[in-house]
Structure 1
Amino acid sequence: MQDSPGFPITRLERAVQTLLLLALFCVPFSTWLTNVFAGFCLLCFVAALATSAPLRAALRTPPALLAIGLLALLALGASWSIGPHADIASALKKYSRLLVLPIAVATSMRDRTMPARALAAFFGGAAVLATSNYLVWHDLMPASPQGWWRIGDAKDSFSFKNHITIGILLSFATVTCLLGATYVQGARARVACVAAGILFSFPIIFLNQGRTGYVALFAGMVVLFLLRVRFTLLRTSCGMAAIVLLFVGFYASSNNFKLRTDDLITEVRTDQKRSPNGLRMSYLRVGSSIIAAHPLAGLGTGSFAEVYAPTALRDWPEDKLGHTRHQPHSEFLLIAAQLGVPGLLLYFAMLGSLLRPALRTRSFHADALVLLWVIYVVSSSFNSLLWDVTEAYWFLLLAGSLYVSARQQTAPGKFTSQGS
């Protein structure tokens, strides 16, 4: 239903919705604008809670409660943290973005058009991001004299965001477009969805050098296939083989894909300590030792840089960044190192509560939520996405909105613009 009986949506709630959509639109290309819109969205939401009983009731959903609980535990973790005050404050500021998940859930429960509008807002921003990548590739993207955005070159055509972030965002955009092609009616609509998917995927494979994007796209395509193709042993085997062959083709035809894949193989084979893979292995060793030594409470919020500094200074003695490596490029490792196993279980509970309704029904929005969840979780295994501003807002805002649509689904398999 559009709103609760006797409780029409107020102007203040409409303002919250607008600010949330603006933040989501800006996520792919502007951190500053995202933070501004998200900040005002939070302020308006707090004010709206005072006048809207249905909005307050929406906060009692499992994902909202678990997100608030995780943030409260992170705040409590500051009391036993070994990190310096500045690191603790910085970590709490980053994790305060968890508050946008309850906002997305509550506003979507009050207005069932929000999930479709949230996806549209994200796709608008993703189109800006993809277009800017193409412009960099053709040397047409202007640089910012003030340093407001960075651009790459023809060999690594990134813009606005780094290639890791670009790969994650455009991978989700790609597989969601392909998902749409399986739901929409009419040949033209299907062709348009497939074409959009190709346009979003091309920068990942051919223009950027982000290996995370390759993994995210592969995982997304596998899950998309499993969601939309009726399971038989023959179909599943042929489908998996086709996806593998597609990526073999990417390896053979893309210089960036081949270069970055070969680099990874070399790093693993030679165990290069100063390579990206070597650095991640170093993080894994230190993070695992923290969890083993402090399984119940970790070392507190914002503590990772402090505990990793001796390793950084030993392995990179000439590197002045020894005390500024604040996260181990794994969200699961970072949460457990700060809060112990109980904190990690609470984080998993939040993620599980978001996915649960999407597994009970089949619809465009439910399947989009599964794709979002899988890409986020897979990428979080070797990146700290909740720690990073862009990925955190991307996931929390979209997941909160799509969760509500999946939860309210009553006609499985039926696709409309509102996912109902």
Structure 2
Amino acid sequence: MRHIHQATPATILLKNTINVRLVIICMAAASVGLSMVIVSIAKFLLLLCGLTTLLLSRRNQQGIQPPPTRFTHIAVLLCLLAFAASLLWSIAPQADALASLAKYGKLLVIVLMVSLIRDRREATYALGAFVVAQVFLVASSWMLFFRLPVPWASSNMAASHYAVFSSYLDQGIISTVFAAVCWHLRELAPGRFGKNAAVLLALAALLNVLFVLDGRSGQVVAIALLSVAIMWQLPGKYRAAVVVLPFLLALGLFLSSTKVRERLSLVKTEASSYSTQGVSSTSTGLRLGYWRQALTVISERPLIGAGVGSWRSEHNRLQRIQNPAHQDIHGVGTPHQEYLQWGVQLGIPGILLFCGLMLSMLKDTLRMEKPYARAAQSALLAFAVACLFNSSLYDAMIGDFFCVVVGLLLALGLSKASHEVVATPELKPAP
């Protein structure tokens, strides 16, 4: 005779009786790319759900199914421990150091997404919520482009640059990743016309990035993801062409897209002005100046860095050396390059740690089936490329986006289908 267990708060939260957990996961998946207020609320609920699940399961002696990722979780933990340890030698004011540590805490979102999603059915629901929200975002941008009323657009770049909730830089990267997810998972789209709809969505998002939005980072990310998507479609013996594909795509877009041509030409002009005249007031000039300062800090403290949250203090110090009348910048700030930012704070080991974090995620994707692996690897490639030009993990909107999406795609690819989940065997009383 089967033993009947009484439902507890833990079983309600962990199973499908009243699936508050899944609702919160879907909210988190849908929030990224929308208003920052919605993102913050979703992150808070996700953290609360994770803590409640952990506490209730321990109280009721119910184990949580171990997450399927092995390398990513360890890498996230090591990164957070390294930043926490650097509080001991950080030259930053305590407020700056703690604020920076809290910003890197968003890495826990990856762990939470993977740990709270129990099977592929739940991951698919979360993916659906993500797609619906991204369709809303892309459609809103196209409406702005065609001068249709979009009363929910809260970005100060809405009228001029067609960004809906954030900057055109963030939205360009976000929509490019969305296009890649639609393309690589198109075979999984439900319905008779699901595959065609997924391809159309990918095309609409990609055209929006390349011909409507102004973000150069999004355009570069789009070229990178297009290159690997084409490579994966080629027979094995032709895949070496991926070396020249980005250059061919960049040339084709330069000739066909006014947006791409204007923005890439502007990079050349701004870089030339910085190198010949020292003009650092432009977007490219500022980045080049910041990167030079970051390399100086790393060369001065190559082994342990200046500690978490130290960029502002180091930037002001170097500026005062060049100009004693320099007015200190306020806020923590970034050098607009994630790799160098980790180097400033943790030295050369910090750069290696950041690369190790991405490699650990890549290692986990190698255990996935092909469509899921390619979608997750595209998101990782977008993250790696975006971090070359921006602090894409540290920054609020785009950092939250990548943590949620990477966590969701890892959970989707590594979790089992619902019918494959094996129930925990019941313990029989001792004779």
Relative to the length of structure 1, the TM-score reads 0.85
Structure 1 residue aligned with 2:298: 291
Check whether the contact 1:132–1:141 (CA below 8 A) recurs between aligned residues. no
Structure 1 residue aligned with 2:390: 383
Structure 1 residue aligned with 2:142: 134
Corresponding position: 1:39 with 2:44: yes
Structure 1 residue aligned with 2:182: 177
Structure 2 residue aligned with 1:122: 130
- Counterpart AA for 1:344: I
Structure 1 residue aligned with 2:372: 365
Evaluate the alpha carbon distance shift between residue 11 and residue 23 of structure 1 in structure 2; reply closer, same or farther with a 3 A threshold: same
Evaluate the alpha carbon distance shift between residue 184 and residue 46 of structure 1 in structure 2; reply closer, same or farther with a 3 A threshold: closer
Corresponding position: 1:107 with 2:116: yes
CA distance in 2, matches of 1:323, 1:350: 30
CA distance in 2, matches of 1:166, 1:221: 17
Structure 2 residue aligned with 1:165: 170
Check whether the contact 2:50–2:116 (CA below 8 A) recurs between aligned residues. no
Tell me the secondary structure at the aligned position of residue 335 of structure 2: coil
Structure 1 residue 298: Cα displacement? 0.7
Check whether the contact 2:32–2:400 (CA below 8 A) recurs between aligned residues. yes
- Counterpart AA for 1:365: Y
- Counterpart AA for 2:13: L
CA distance in 2, matches of 1:94, 1:290: 21
Tell me the secondary structure at the aligned position of residue 165 of structure 2: coil
- Counterpart AA for 1:57: P
Return the index of the structure with the highest Cα Rg: 2
CA distance in 1, matches of 2:23, 2:307: 36
Give the number of equivalent residue pairs: 402
Structure 1 residue 313: Cα displacement? 6.0
Unaligned runs of 5+ residues in structure 2 are: 1-5, 421-431
- Counterpart AA for 1:115: A
- Counterpart AA for 1:306: S
Corresponding position: 1:81 with 2:105: no
CA distance in 2, matches of 1:140, 1:318: 48
Structure 1 residue 58: Cα displacement? 2.9
Stretch moving more, 281-290 or 342-351: 342-351
Q: What's the C-alpha RMSD, in Å, of the aligned pairs?
A: 3.2
Structure 1 residue aligned with 2:354: 347
1:225-240 superposed matches below 5 A: 225-233=230-238, 237=241
1:94-145 alpha-carbon deviations (Å, 9 max, x no partner): 112121111112123x22323323322222221122122112212224457x
CA distance in 1, matches of 2:110, 2:245: 37
Which of 267, 271, 294 is residue 270 of structure 2 equivalent to?
267
Corresponding position: 1:356 with 2:359: no
- Counterpart AA for 1:39: F
Check whether the contact 2:119–2:416 (CA below 8 A) recurs between aligned residues. no
Stretch moving more, 202-211 or 173-182: 173-182
Corresponding position: 1:216 with 2:217: no
CA distance in 2, matches of 1:165, 1:265: 22
Unaligned runs of 5+ residues in structure 1 are: 1-5, 411-415
CA distance in 2, matches of 1:128, 1:122: 10
Structure 1 residue 59: Cα displacement? 8.9
Evaluate the alpha carbon distance shift between residue 398 and residue 160 of structure 1 in structure 2; reply closer, same or farther with a 3 A threshold: same
Tell me the secondary structure at the aligned position of residue 273 of structure 1: coil
1:323-362 alpha-carbon deviations (Å, 9 max, x no partner): 4461111111111211123333333222212111323554
Stretch moving more, 134-143 or 37-46: 134-143
